[in-house]
């Protein structure tokens, strides 16, 4: 399947129709046992059907060297058709302040939507956790902002994944609202959807309001790694589950 601009725009137009008060039954952030998820794509798909999703994006992690991606895409295409559209996607990480991403052309071409996320600072290797004694909180916010902002200029990116997720989860820093709004306004200008993420964002409705004000397309994501996570962003928005509490565990 070749990645076509018109197919992508059609999906993003659907997202744009996010109704005034009711979140569309979409979940655009799902992982599986292909990477760090706990369940197979079939199990995650069946759960999506069970909780009433109409569209889901398998946003699997991949990097330039992920030679299995074609098989993964084939598996998603072969899922049963049970009333929920299953889209093939990838979550790629930002590499630098120029908007480059750790992904091959082959993988991009397999995908219906490409999500770009900040997972680490340039130069960090492997799984990184913990603080950076060399940076103060303002510099951390600014660094994540610049990495995210640069990806918005990369035409391969369709969705900006969990903006400021690293500030919130790794560094326990709440970025100022103006920084979020600046990213959202730029996402609106560059035609990239802005993800509202159940795992990383403590105030999803604030972000939805800011996206609407700026005219940015909203992408809803649960960051699902297990069955119980599928559709979680919708339950949070409907008040059925609490949003993430940064002062909790
Ligand atoms: Zn991520
Ligand atoms: Zn993810």
DSSP 168: I
Q: How far is the CA of 119 from the centre of ligand 1 (A)?
A: 6
Looking up residue 229, the CATH number of its domain turns out to be: 3.20.20.140
**198 neighbors 9 (Cβ within 8 angstroms):** no
Assess if residue 31 is contained within a domain: yes
Q: What is the pLDDT of residues 59-83, one digit of tens each?
A: 999 999 999 999 999 999 999 999 9
Assess if residue 16 is contained within a domain: no
pTM recorded for the entire structure: 0.94
Assess if residue 54 is contained within a domain: yes
Q: How far is the CA of 115 from the centre of ligand 1 (A)?
A: 9
Q: What is the pLDDT of residues 145-155, one digit of tens each?
A: 999 999 999 99
Q: How far is the CA of 57 from the centre of ligand 2 (A)?
A: 11
Side-chain half-sphere exposure of 179, counting CA atoms within 13 A: 20
Q: What is the mean pLDDT of residues 229-240?
A: 95
Q: Which domain holds residue 42?
A: 24-237
Assess if residue 243 is contained within a domain: no
Specify burial of residue 133 (Cβ count, 10 A radius: 0-12, 13-18, 19+): exposed
Helix (H, G, I), strand (E, B) or coil at 70: helix
Position 54 scores a pLDDT of 94
Assess if residue 247 is contained within a domain: no
How many distinct structural domains can be found in the chain?
A: 1
Q: How far is the CA of 92 from the centre of ligand 1 (A)?
A: 8
Assess if residue 248 is contained within a domain: no
Q: How far is the CA of 191 from the centre of ligand 1 (A)?
A: 20
| Interhelix angle 177-190/204-214, nearest 10 degrees | 40
Assess if residue 13 is contained within a domain: no
Position 127 scores a pLDDT of 66
Assess if residue 244 is contained within a domain: no
Q: How far is the CA of 160 from the centre of ligand 1 (A)?
A: 10
Q: What is the pLDDT of residues 188-230, one digit of tens each?
A: 999 999 999 999 999 999 999 999 999 999 999 999 999 999 9
**44 neighbors 28 (Cβ within 8 angstroms):** no
Give the separation between CA 51 and CA 69, rounded to whole angstroms.
Answer: 27
Q: How far is the CA of 242 from the centre of ligand 2 (A)?
A: 20
Position 168 scores a pLDDT of 96
The chain-wide mean pLDDT, for the chain, equals 92
Confidence of residue 9 (pLDDT cuts 50, 70, 90): confident
Position 34 scores a pLDDT of 98
Position 19 scores a pLDDT of 53
């Amino acid at each position: 399947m070749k990645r076509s601009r018109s197919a992508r725009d059609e999906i993003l137009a659907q997202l744009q129709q996010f109704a005034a008060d009711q979140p569309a039954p979409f979940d655009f952030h799902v992982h599986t046992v292909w990477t760090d998820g706990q369940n197979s794509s079939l199990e995650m798909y069946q759960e999506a059907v069970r909780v009433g999703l109409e569209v889901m994006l398998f946003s699997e992690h991949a990097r330039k060297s992920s030679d299995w991606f074609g098989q993964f895409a084939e598996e998603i295409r072969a899922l049963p058709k049970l009333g929920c559209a299953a889209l093939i996607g990838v979550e790629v990480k930002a590499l630098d302040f120029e908007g480059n991403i750790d992904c091959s052309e082959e993988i991009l071409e397999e995908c219906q939507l490409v999500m770009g996320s900040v997972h680490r600072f340039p130069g960090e290797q492997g799984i990184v956790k913990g603080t950076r004694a060399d940076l103060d909180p303002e510099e951390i916010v600014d660094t994540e902002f610049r990495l995210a902002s640069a990806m918005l200029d990369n035409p391969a990116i369709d969705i900006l994944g969990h903006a400021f997720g690293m500030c919130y989860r790794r560094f326990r820093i709440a970025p100022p609202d103006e920084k979020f709004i600046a990213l959202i306004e730029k996402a609106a200008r560059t035609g990239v959807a802005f993800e509202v993420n159940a795992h990383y964002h403590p105030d999803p409705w604030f972000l939805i309001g800011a996206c609407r004000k700026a005219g940015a397309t909203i992408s809803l994501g649960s960051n699902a790694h297990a069955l119980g996570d599928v559709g979680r962003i919708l339950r949070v928005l409907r008040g059925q589950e609490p949003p993430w509490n940064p002062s909790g565990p």
